[in-house]
Structure 1
Amino acid sequence: MTDFTLSHIREAAGRIAGVADATPLVPSALSARFGHEVLLKLEIAQPIGAFKLRGALSAIAALPADTVGVTCCSTGNHGRGVAYAARARRMQAVICMSRLAPEAKVAGVRALGAEVRIIGDSQDEAQAEAERLAREEGLVDISPFDDPLVVAGQGTIGLELVESRPDLTAILVPLSGGGLAGGVAFAAKALNPAIRVVGITMDRGAAMHASLRAGYPVEVEEVPSLADSLGGGIGLANRLSFPLCRDHLDETILVTEADIYRAMQALYYEDRIVCEGASSVGIAAMLTGKFKAEGTTATIITGRNLDMTQHAAIMTGQDIILGDVTVKGESYGA
């Protein structure tokens, strides 16, 4: 932990410059509803449609020229980022995903030329295969969240937010394995210690939230969610993203599947944004009053790689079945 500094994030900004940086920061049409300006950091504008390219590119750009290839476990967007960055360097990429990964994300990884291996029913099982590939076949395992080069890449979002809008009072960050939340919080607070950084996640299978409450990394059961990108464990041997989140997040907030459903609708109908459920959790926290803005607030729209059939169903108010849970549909504004 003491070895991770703001200079690492600034170095990552140099590695990703011109490819994965400088995404738009735009005011939300929902601002008037919240009583303060709300800004949307549009990581959906990334070449892969998600912020994960920052961390993957940061890590892969730093690898030696003789690297055999790379591997990782992923719920989808990290794998897409690794595949994109590996293709640019003409490296082999093997992406390990569980059966919970949406088919749209599996197809997106394959479209970038990577091999996909579907392993088990959890991120932990997929991670075990990535570790085997690293151990037995010499591939470099690029962690989705617990690699300092990856975290530094994600942290560049924090730099961009605070440097472009020094008047920000709060940043709402989707919280999963903690690479994004930890990196953004570290960078933002290094520039402005007074800024609040809040991690937002779903209320089912939220590994980092549960770990922060316990005081150490814990395992959780992975379940289907509209915020599928936020699923998966943080690793019981987590050495970086857990302490970063513990030391730099001001709080974590849980939102329900119904909250996420309504926030996806609001972003579509008010801001004309198509995004994953994970992208909408900051807006969900504000719409429900679980987070109340006290000044200019930014939230990160992390990705747009979703099942468009499911999105169409949500926009038209249909019920959504997630395993043994049904999210009751409701037309927007009803």
Structure 2
Amino acid sequence: MHGVTLAEIQAARRRIAGQVTRTPLIRSATLSARFEAEVLLKLETLQPTGAFKLRGVVNMISALLERYGQQALAAGVTTASTGNHGRAVAYAAARLGVPAIICLSHQVPDNKVAAIEALGAEVRRIGDSQDEAFGEVARLVDEQGMTLIPPFDDSLIAAGQGTIGLELLDDAPDLDQVLVGLSGGGLLGGIGVALKASRPELEITGVSLSRGAAMHDSLLAGHPVEVEEVASLGDSLGGGIGLDNGCTFALVREVMDSHWRVSEAAIARAMVELLEDDKQFVEGAAAVGLAALNEHELDIRGRKVALILSGNGVSLETLDQARRLAGR
């Protein structure tokens, strides 16, 4: 059981109101014409931390404060992250005056490390994978009494991300399909619960990296498995789902209707196209929906389709790399 319900997502919406941006859903004229469809872009890039992760973090911290009071966070909060989640935890902790230690693997780009440190959190670089970084998180929780804010595998986190689904229904109630980056599963799972509660026929499409796709490999195996974490333009989609995953594995299995994997070249092309044609500055993980449409020539003619532009945590150096790979 994953424990994420429509009622929890509605409660999350009330908790995060005023603390998280209600992001716009805009029509892409270029993509709509190319695919002969109504293609909409959900701009989570406009969150204060530049990514959707703030929704889940604010929901979880707010819920903990409601239940246990300020004393629950007296020792501070900690997490491991591929970057965006850590930035969200640092931002929320700074606003609440709570100490924060963010553990990152050496795979996380330096620009994301700097963004977290700029918010006042302590950063610890541990190992070459998110799972290794979580070893330090476990020690901080056990020895220092810090509170873990998990990046995805928690019903409060997934419910916070699910508020995106409620906003999609408000702005495009006749939506046919949503393409969502798939990694730990909190984003896709939360959105899926919110949308399918009223539109069970709506297609939820996950998009993963071609290599190091932990959720993809776990779904094929029928249980959580470990994968080797590799460098990617879509680095936010890297990392494991945890062998003891208690929420998002079941959640993704329940709500996801279709799934595609995309190459580095396809991610690069999509990043460049979104910048040049739609003036959207996005990281690789935010471009995978368009990458799937391009690479797999998905037929969406006549449909209303939303792409979740999940974050903007990309350096100019990485964008130049994407341009070269895309031959632009």
TM-score range, shorter chain: over 0.9
Question: What is aligned with 2:201?
Answer: 194
CA contact (8 A) 1:175 1:199 kept: yes
CA 1:279 to 1:3, structure 2 compared with 1: closer, same or farther past 3 Å?
closer
Question: What is aligned with 1:48?
Answer: 49
Question: What is aligned with 1:307?
Answer: 315
Question: What is aligned with 2:10?
Answer: 10
Question: What is aligned with 1:325?
Answer: none
CA contact (8 A) 2:4 2:190 kept: no
Give, in whole Å, the separation in 1 of the partners of 2:251 and 2:21: 22
Give, in whole Å, the separation in 1 of the partners of 2:21 and 2:298: 28
CA 1:148 to 1:199, structure 2 compared with 1: closer, same or farther past 3 Å?
same
Give 1:186 shift.
1.1
Question: What is aligned with 1:296?
Answer: 304
CA contact (8 A) 2:162 2:194 kept: yes
Question: What is aligned with 1:87?
Answer: 94
Q: Which moved more, 1:27-36 or 1:90-99?
A: 27-36
CA contact (8 A) 1:13 1:21 kept: no
CA contact (8 A) 2:181 2:288 kept: yes
Q: What runs of 5+ residues in structure 1 fail to find an aligned partner? A: 319-327
State how 1:65-104 maps to structure 2 within 5 Å. 65-66=70-71, 67=73, 68-104=75-111
State how 1:9-158 maps to structure 2 within 5 Å. 9-28=9-28, 29-63=30-64, 64-66=69-71, 67=73, 68-158=75-165
The answer to whether 1:330 aligns with 2:315 is no
RMSD: 1.2
Q: What do residues 125-145 of structure 1 show as CA deviations (whole Å, max 9, x unaligned)?
A: 111111111111011111101
Question: What is aligned with 1:265?
Answer: 272
Q: Which moved more, 1:199-208 or 1:56-65?
A: 56-65
Secondary structure of 1:191's counterpart equals coil
Q: What do residues 227-257 of structure 1 show as CA deviations (whole Å, max 9, x unaligned)?
A: 0000000000001100000011002110000
Give, in whole Å, the separation in 1 of the partners of 2:295 and 2:311: 22
Secondary structure of 1:168's counterpart equals coil
Normalising by structure 2, what TM-score?
0.95
Question: What is aligned with 2:177?
Answer: 170
Give 1:3 shift.
3.7
Secondary structure of 1:274's counterpart equals coil
User: Normalized per residue, which structure has more helix?
Assistant: 2
Give, in whole Å, the separation in 1 of the partners of 2:231 and 2:249: 23
CA contact (8 A) 1:86 1:92 kept: yes
Give, in whole Å, the separation in 1 of the partners of 2:171 and 2:32: 18
Give 1:5 shift.
1.4
Q: Which moved more, 1:108-117 or 1:288-297?
A: 288-297
Secondary structure of 2:70's counterpart equals coil
CA contact (8 A) 1:253 1:290 kept: no
Secondary structure of 1:267's counterpart equals helix
CA contact (8 A) 2:21 2:46 kept: no
**Aligned sequence identity (%):** 52
> Relative contact order (C-alpha < 8 Å, sep 6+): which is higher?
2
CA contact (8 A) 2:2 2:155 kept: no
Question: What is aligned with 1:322?
Answer: none
Q: What is the identity, as a one-letter code, of the residue corresponding to 1:314?
A: A
Normalising by structure 1, what TM-score?
0.93
Give, in whole Å, the separation in 1 of the partners of 2:229 and 2:2: 32
Give 1:329 shift.
4.5
Secondary structure of 1:220's counterpart equals coil
Secondary structure of 1:41's counterpart equals strand
Give, in whole Å, the separation in 2 of the partners of 1:20 and 1:211: 32
CA 1:96 to 1:162, structure 2 compared with 1: closer, same or farther past 3 Å?
same
Give, in whole Å, the separation in 2 of the partners of 1:197 and 1:183: 11
Give, in whole Å, the separation in 2 of the partners of 1:146 and 1:172: 20
Q: What do residues 186-210 of structure 1 show as CA deviations (whole Å, max 9, x unaligned)?
A: 1111121110001101101000011
Give, in whole Å, the separation in 2 of the partners of 1:15 and 1:30: 35
Q: What runs of 5+ residues in structure 2 fail to find an aligned partner? A: none
Secondary structure of 1:30's counterpart equals helix
Secondary structure of 1:197's counterpart equals strand
Secondary structure of 1:99's counterpart equals coil
Secondary structure of 1:200's counterpart equals strand
Give 1:27 shift.
0.6
Give, in whole Å, the separation in 2 of the partners of 1:71 and 1:183: 22
Match of 1:251 among 229, 250, 258: 258
